[in-house]
A and B are shown apart, each in its own frame.
Chain A
Amino acid sequence: MMLFSDIVQLSLQNLRLHKVRSVLTSLGVIFGVGSVIAMLAISEGAKRKALEQIEAMGIDKIIVYSKKPPSAGAGVSSSRTSRIDAYGLSAVDRRKILELDNIERITRVRDARKKILKGLDRMDLKLVGVDRDFLEDSASGMVAGRWFSGLDFHSPQNICVIGSNVKRKLFPLGARDVIGAPIRVEGQVFRVIGVLHNDIGATYPEVGNPNDMILIPFPTSEILYGNYAYTDDGTGIRVTLIDYDVFLLKIRNLEYIDNTARRLINYLGKSHSKVKDWEVIVPLDLLKQREATQNIFTIVMSSIAGISLIVGGIGIMNIMLASVFERRKEIGTRRALGAQKVDILLQFLIETVSLTSLGGLLGVILGIGISQIITYYAGMPTVYSLWSIVASMLISSLVGVIFGTYPAWQAAQQNPITVLRAE
C-alpha cells in the first residue's frame, strides 16, 4: 500500500484538475449545508431574541396582568354613549397575593390611558404609574438624572422619569438637558427628573417596554387619575375602571416558583370566578417551553438537512461512478504499475470525501453569507454556533465516506486487462 500522504495528494490533484466539475458535483452538498447553516443561524437568532425577552421579564418573577375580558362592558351599562368596563386586578387581590408566603413584594404598574401628544400628533407612548421598586424589578438603569426617592412617594408631586425612547421622541434632537423640562399630558404638567433606559428590552403585557413610558410615582397616579380612565373610541365615551394593569411579583425562593404560581392561579380563579380578566406569566416556564419547542425545531431541521445531504450524496455517487468508468484506463495503468486494490479504493474514496468536505466548507461559507444578507436586509438577528459549523463539516465528510465507498469499490474491482484495452 502506498503512503497515506501520497494518496491524499493524488486525490486532491485530481480534483484540482477538474475544478469546475468538482464544484458542480458538490453543489448538492453545498446548498444542503448552506441552507442548514443559514436556517440554524436564523432560528438561533430568533431563539436568542425570544429568550432575551423572556429573561428580561426576570426569571425570578411572576407577572400577573389585567386582561380585558371579551364580554366586558356588555352587562354593566345599557347606555349607548357611555359604557363602563370594570375588570382586572384589585387592591384586594394585591393584599391577598402578598399573603402568599413565597412572595417578597409586588410592584404595581398602572397605565393612566392618556393621549401623549407632540403638537397634534399622537405618540405611541404611555403615562404609567409605578411603585418605587419598578426600576430594579424591570432591570432598568438611569442614564440621566435620578429615580424617585421615598419622599416623592410620601408627598406626591407632578414629577416623572422618562424612558429613553420618550426622550428621543418628545425632545428635539441634541437636546442636552431634559432634566427639569416639562411634559404636558392632558392638562397636567410633569417635570422630568430623570431618564431611564432598559437595554434588555423587557416588554410587559398591556403596558409595553419601559423605554416607551413616562413614569410617575404610584401615589401621584392615584391622586390624579384614581382607578378610572375615560377613553373616546369614536362611538362614544368609554369608562374603564381598573385598579392595576400589571403586578410584578418578586419571588423569594425560586425553587418553589411552580408551587407559588399554582396557588396564585388558584386564588385568582376563585376570586375572579365570573370572568377571566387576569393572566399569569411565569417567565421561567416560558423559557422551558421555548426550549422544548426549540428541540422539536432542531429535530425537524436536522431531518431536512439529512434528506438534502442524502440527495447531494447520491448525486456525488452518480458522478463518481461515471468517473470510474471514464478513468478505467488510468485505473488499469495504475494496477499494471503495481497499485493494490486498496490503493485504488482509497484514491477514489478520499477523492469523494474531499469533494463532500469541500462542499461542506463552501456550504458553511454560503450559509453564513445568506444569513448575513438576511440580517442586513430583513433585520433579523442571526447567530451561528461553532457546533453547527463543525457538525456540518463532519457530516459532509461522513456523506463522502458513505456514498464514496461503492464507486471506490467499483474502481478497485476493475479488471486491469479489460480496462487497459479500453481506448
Chain B
Amino acid sequence: MTMSNSIPPFEITPYAGGEVVLRLSDIRKTYNSGELAVNVLKGISFEIRRGQFVGIVGTSGSGKSTMLNILGMLDVPTSGSYLLEDINVETLTDQEQATIRNRKIGFIFQSFNLFPYLTIEQNIEVPMIYNRVSRRVRRARALELAKQVGLGHRLGHRPTQLSGGECQRVAVARSLGNHPTFLLADEPTGNLDEKTGNEIMNLFHRLNREQNVTIVMVTHNPLFEPHYDQVIRLRDGLVVQEFPQGAFAS
C-alpha cells in the first residue's frame, strides 16, 4: 500500500476550528405514522466550526439519515433550532431553502448521483447553473475543480466511461462549485472498494487540510474515525459520544 492510499497517521491533532458555522440545539424529529408517533431525533445539539472535518456516525436506525436530511435542508425538524452561519433555517421558504442548498451546502451522495447524459464538465457545472453563473466563468471553474480532483483530462467524458472512484471525484468537484460553507457527504465510500474508498477519504482530507473546507460526513465506517476532528455518535436519536471529549463544552 503506497503512502497516498493509506490512512493518514493518527497523531494529527484534532482541529478546534474557526468560527461556528453550524449550530444545532435540541433538534427533535417526530414522524407520525397513523396513531403511532415515532421519535427519531430526541433532542440533538452540537456545533461545527469552520475548517473542521466532522463525522456523524451511528448504526442504522440511529437517526443518522434524518440528521443528514435536516442538515442538508431537505427536511425540517419538528422542534429545535438550526443556525447555518447567521441564518435561522426553520423560517425559510421552500425557495429560500433551495437557494441555501445551492450556495452553502455541497452534497455528495453514496451512489454519486451524476447525470449520465451530461459530460463531466457539464456535471460539475450543474450547481453553478442553478446559481446563474455565466457560461464562461462556469467553464473555467469546472476545469479548475476537475484538475483539483485529478480529472482535468477527462472533462469531455461521460460518467459511464469512468470508474466508481472517478465518479465520486467528479461529485466532489461538483459539490465545490459555488464555494459552499460545508460539504455534506452521505456514505461517500459506501459504493466503493476499500482502496478506492481510501483514495476518496484522502481527497476529503486534503481538501480539509489544504483549503480549509468544512466537511460533515455521515457514515457507519469506524475505520475513518481517525480522520475526524470531531465525531458525533448517534444512538436511538441521541448523541451518545463526542470526540474529542468535551469538544462542545468549550
Contact = CB atoms under 8 A, between A and B. Distances in A.
Chains A and B come from one and the same complex: yes
A186 interface: no
A3 B132 contact: yes
Contacts of A3: 129, 132
A336 interface: yes
A53 interface: no
A2 B132 contact: yes
A13 B117 CA distance: 8
Interface stretch (B14-22, B103-111, B144-152): B103-111
Contacts of A333: 107, 109, 113, 115
Given A3-B132, A14-B117, A340-B98, A416 B74 contact: yes
Nearest to A16: B117
A210 to B, nearest CB: 67
A343 B72 contact: no
B75 interface: yes
Interface string A333-346: 11111111101000
Contacts of B248: none
Contacts of A416: 74
Contacts of A1: 132
Interface string B104-131: 0001010101010110000000110111
Interface residues on A, range: 20 to 34
Nearest to B94: A341
B132 A334 contact: no
A329 interface: yes
B131 A338 contact: yes
Nearest to B133: A3
Interface in A300-351: 329-330, 333-341, 343
A333 B101 CA distance: 11
A343 B103 CA distance: 16
A329 B95 contact: no
Nearest to B117: A17
A337 B117 contact: no
Interface string B43-77: 00000000000000000000000000100101100
Contacts of B99: 338, 340
B81 interface: no
A423 B111 contact: yes
Interface residues on B, range: 20 to 34
B75 A417 contact: yes
A2 B111 contact: no
A138 B113 CA distance: 78
Interface in A194-249: none
A340 B98 CA distance: 6
A343 B130 contact: yes
A331 to B, nearest CB: 11
A14 B102 CA distance: 22
Contacts of A336: 72, 74, 101, 107, 109, 113
A423 B113 CA distance: 10
A340 B117 contact: no
Nearest to B134: A3
Contacts of A334: 126, 130
B131 A341 contact: no
Contacts of B103: 338
A2 B129 contact: yes
Interface in B139-177: 174
A420 interface: yes
Nearest to A17: B117
A334 B95 CA distance: 14
A6 B129 contact: yes
Nearest to B125: A6
With a 10 A CB-CB cut-off, give which of B95, B98, B131 has the most chain A CB atoms. Answer: B98
Nearest to A344: B98
Interface in A1-51: 1-3, 6, 10, 13-14, 17
B42 to A, nearest CB: 20
A73 B190 CA distance: 105
A329 B113 contact: yes
Contacts of B174: 337
Given A416-B74, A417-B75, A339 B113 contact: no
Contacts of A339: 98, 102, 130
B102 A337 contact: yes
Interface in B170-195: 174, 178
A417 B69 contact: yes
A173 to B, nearest CB: 66
Given A13-B118, A343-B130, A337 B69 contact: no
B68 to A, nearest CB: 10
Contacts of B127: 337-338
Contacts of A330: 115
A232 B59 CA distance: 111
Nearest to A336: B107
20 contacts: A2-B129, A2-B130, A3-B132, A6-B129, A13-B117, A329-B113, A333-B107, A333-B113, A335-B101, A336-B101, A336-B107, A338-B127, A338-B178, A339-B130, A340-B98, A340-B99, A340-B130, A341-B94, A417-B75, A420-B109
Given A13-B117, A338-B131, A340-B99, 20 more contacts: A1-B132, A2-B129, A10-B129, A14-B117, A333-B107, A334-B126, A335-B98, A336-B72, A336-B74, A336-B101, A336-B109, A337-B101, A337-B127, A338-B130, A339-B102, A339-B130, A340-B95, A340-B98, A341-B95, A420-B74
List the 4 closest A-B pairs by CB distance, nearest first.
A338-B102, A338-B130, A333-B113, A17-B117
Interface of B: 69, 72, 74-75, 94-95, 98-99, 101-103, 107, 109, 111, 113, 115, 117-118, 126-127, 129-132, 174, 178
